Amino acid sequence: MNRVLRVKQHLPIFDWGQRYSKRKLAGDLTAAGIVTIMLIPQSLAYALLAGLPAQVGIYASILPLVAYTLFGTSRALAVGPVAVVSLMTASALAPLGISSVTDYIAAAGVLALLSGLMLLGMGLLRLGVVANFLSHPVIAGFITASGLLIAVGQVKHLIGVSSSGHNLPEIIETLCSNVGDISLSTMMIAAFALTSLVWMRQSLSRVLQDRLDMPIGLAGTIARVGPVFAIVGTVLLSWGLDLPGLGVGVVGVVPTGLPPFSVPLTDWSVLSALIGPAALISIIGFVESVSVAQTLAAKRQHRIDPNQELTALGASNLASGLSGGFPVTGGFSRSVVNYDAGAQTPAAGAFTAIGLLFAAVYLTPLLYFLPKATLAATIIVAVVSLVDFSILKTAWRYSKADFAAVATTMLLTLLVGVEAGVAAGVLISLLLFIWKTSRPHVAEVGLVPGSQHFRNIHRHNVLTDPRLVTLRIDESLYFANARRMEDLVLERVHMDRGSFEHVVLMCSAVNDIDLSALESLETINQRLNDLGVLLHLSEVKGPVMDRLKCGHFLTKLTGEIYLSQYDAYSELTGAQPVSAG
């Protein structure tokens, strides 16, 4: 039985597959059909964003979906290329100076393999909590800056000029230097594509509901697959008007056939240069994917296992790397479409993979006349929703420290590059955590009259006793805050030196005490003893008490350890007990 449970834990398909039914099959097939239509233009566009040939986007969307079907725990998550990870892929590969397209594709595959191995390793070590080390404001700032960087980076395709650069100043500089090469024909097709896409995103759903009485869910789904209509329309225009002859850039020949199955090879210098970017892509991709999966799962009262999601994303990236793709993760827009279209199980992803496989074998010749401006417009419209500068206003009002973290992340992403922005976000998140926990809030508390509750003497009208000082420590104690806690306690003692007999440390918020903090407690105990003051503890949690019993602190403690703060107050002051309330 335990073996069966372990298999189901690591291969969830054996869990939900046992309960598969015709009703779920119908929902999965419907969702797969809609997502396939949506994913074809998206995969082409994100391959372009990553600096790769268009067909690589389709390759990166087939086997990863199958891998996620086997290992994933979300019933609606759609895995494949996404905007931010595609941008990070381009940023990781561009500095390598690879001139050969074949070598560039191989390097992208190696990046996917490295990311997959890292995610699998994190899954085996059950490091799903790593997502908690990136604060939401920092992630929001990074995604906003990335969205702006992506949009500006696609302007070259909208106006028909060449440009390069890994950050905003470089991109703008190269665009300005090539402004004389602007193609009017390209701008016209781009304007048509942008206008169509924006209208379909903002108005098509309402038009379908008002004029055709279409159900709101169906109308919204059709509106979300709007890029397909834009692609069909611009391909017909490009073919009928011979736009390539007028200087409009098109996708060109897209190889037909199955994805290549092989291990991408590269030299050691490239491999070593990709390790750092792979780690950043793994973290950002995991955070984005799990956020989407948890949001959708909550709507249907399902549960997502973050550790298993690490394994599933790792397997998906390995599958992408072995089939000619590049790093992938769970995408928000197509996952929402998958959910709204009625996906019931991860099998919807496998059916989507079959549809994409059909497209790779039979439909790619039709993409020859597809203008690159259309794909750029698709990317821009998709990433506009990522840009949210309101996080700056929100962070400024709530916390200046969080504002500094968000602003720094955004500025570094825009001015230096994606990798610098991600690295800064991770570093700032950790530094903020250490800074905040290194300055623990220590409040002197007193008894609320007529109750057994204790509150801050500076905020509430409470009872105190001149013989007793109670300090509530509102943070776990570890090396970064041990000395500060020691200084705060001793500073309070010296304020009224000789006027009291007892100090009680209220530990209701203390979840851990490390060795450095234990040494500080021993110092406090000794210093108070030298002053003739007894040290007591109250409301010490069980796990913390177990740790304390491993040392000599309890044998040297001059006072007592009380189950509750009220017990300590009553015994040390002789107060008349009151009933709990």
3-class SS at 303? Answer: coil
**pLDDT tier for residue 42 given thresholds of 50, 70 and 90:** confident
**Phi, psi angle pair for 463, to nearest 5°:** -95, 135
Contact 365, 178 (CB under 8 A): no
Q: In terms of DSSP H, where are the helices of 241-371?
A: 268-299, 306-322, 332-340, 347-358
Judged against a pLDDT cut of 60, whether residue 5 lies above it is answered with no
What is the predicted pLDDT for the residue at 576? 63
Judged against a pLDDT cut of 80, whether residue 2 lies above it is answered with no
**pLDDT tier for residue 7 given thresholds of 50, 70 and 90:** low
Of 133-147, 440-454, 521-535, 567-581, minimum mean pLDDT range: 567-581
**pLDDT tens per residue, range 354-407:** 999 998 888 888 888 989 899 888 888 888 877 888 889 998 999 888 888 889
Average pLDDT over the chain, rounded to whole? 87
**Phi, psi angle pair for 165, to nearest 5°:** 135, 150
Judged against a pLDDT cut of 80, whether residue 422 lies above it is answered with no
Q: For residues 227-256, give the mean pLDDT.
A: 87
Q: For residues 338-352, give the mean pLDDT.
A: 86
* Measured CA angle at 140 (ends 139, 143), to 5 deg: 85
Higher pLDDT, 577 or 218: 218
Percentage helix, strand, coil for the chain under 3-state DSSP, each rounded to 5: 65, 5, 25
Q: And the tokens for 187?
A: 């701008």
**Phi, psi angle pair for 503, to nearest 5°:** -125, 125
**pLDDT tier for residue 342 given thresholds of 50, 70 and 90:** confident
- Please give the model's pTM, rounded to 2 decimal places: 0.79
Q: And the tokens for 322?
A: 């072995």
Distance (Å, rounded) from C-alpha 30 to C-alpha 112? 30
Left if phi > 0, otherwise alpha if psi is -120 to 50, otherwise beta: which for 419? alpha
Contact 578, 452 (CB under 8 A): yes
Tell how strand 468-473 and strand 502-506 pair up: parallel
8-state DSSP, 360:
I
Percent share of the chain, pLDDT over 70: 96
**pLDDT tens per residue, range 502-524:** 999 999 999 999 999 999 999 99
Packing angle, helices 372-384 and 226-240, rounded to 10: 160
Distance (Å, rounded) from C-alpha 221 to C-alpha 551? 63
Judged against a pLDDT cut of 70, whether residue 131 lies above it is answered with no
CA-based R_g, the chain, Å: 30
What is the predicted pLDDT for the residue at 581? 47
Judged against a pLDDT cut of 90, whether residue 161 lies above it is answered with no
3-class SS at 329? Answer: strand
**pLDDT tens per residue, range 139-155:** 888 888 988 988 898 89
Of 35-39, 495-499, 538-542, minimum mean pLDDT range: 495-499
Residue in 327, 394, 424, 314 with CA at minimum distance from that of residue 107: 327
Residue 54 parent element (H or E)? helix 54-59
Judged against a pLDDT cut of 60, whether residue 580 lies above it is answered with no
Judged against a pLDDT cut of 80, whether residue 270 lies above it is answered with yes
Tell how strand 534-538 and strand 502-506 pair up: parallel
Q: For residues 277-299, give the mean pLDDT.
A: 87
Q: And the tokens for 325?
A: 């793709």
Q: For residues 55-62, give the mean pLDDT.
A: 93
* Measured CA angle at 7 (ends 4, 11), to 5 deg: 140
Contact 264, 56 (CB under 8 A): no
What is the predicted pLDDT for the residue at 3? 57
Q: And the tokens for 17?
A: 């597959």
Judged against a pLDDT cut of 50, whether residue 137 lies above it is answered with yes
Q: For residues 448-453, give the mean pLDDT.
A: 91
**pLDDT tier for residue 1 given thresholds of 50, 70 and 90:** very low
Higher pLDDT, 430 or 124: 124
